[in-house]
Amino acid sequence: MRLQVVLRKQPQKYLAAIDETTRNKLNKALQKLETLTGDIKKLKGTCNHFRVKIHHYRILFTLDKDTKTIEVQQIDARTNIKY
């Protein structure tokens, strides 16, 4: 099952501001999200919020199974993410 990945404003700005090597790593992780592969965990206390771990970066996203879309809420370093 392939899902559509949609980036909100903060993830777009973050990807534009980081170095190319890190951007490539994060883009690969975003491509893997289409098939829900990778180090994905559901966030406690929420119904459809998840996180992906890539080295010391985190991607927070919501999953809508009805429309088959993933909305990426935030991308940042581990120390800057608040769950």
- Would strands 40-42 and 4-7 be described as parallel, antiparallel, or unpaired? unpaired
Please give the pLDDT value at position 2.
87
CA distances from 55 to 15, 22, 79 (A): 16, 10, 12
Mean pLDDT of the chain: 93
Q: Does the pLDDT of residue 75 top 90, yes or no?
A: yes
Tell me: the pLDDT tens digits for 44-65?
999 899 999 998 999 999 999 8
pTM: 0.89
The secondary structure element, H or E, covering residue 59 is strand 57-64
Q: Name the residue with tokens 């170095």.
A: 19
- Percentage of the chain lying above the pLDDT 90 cut: 84
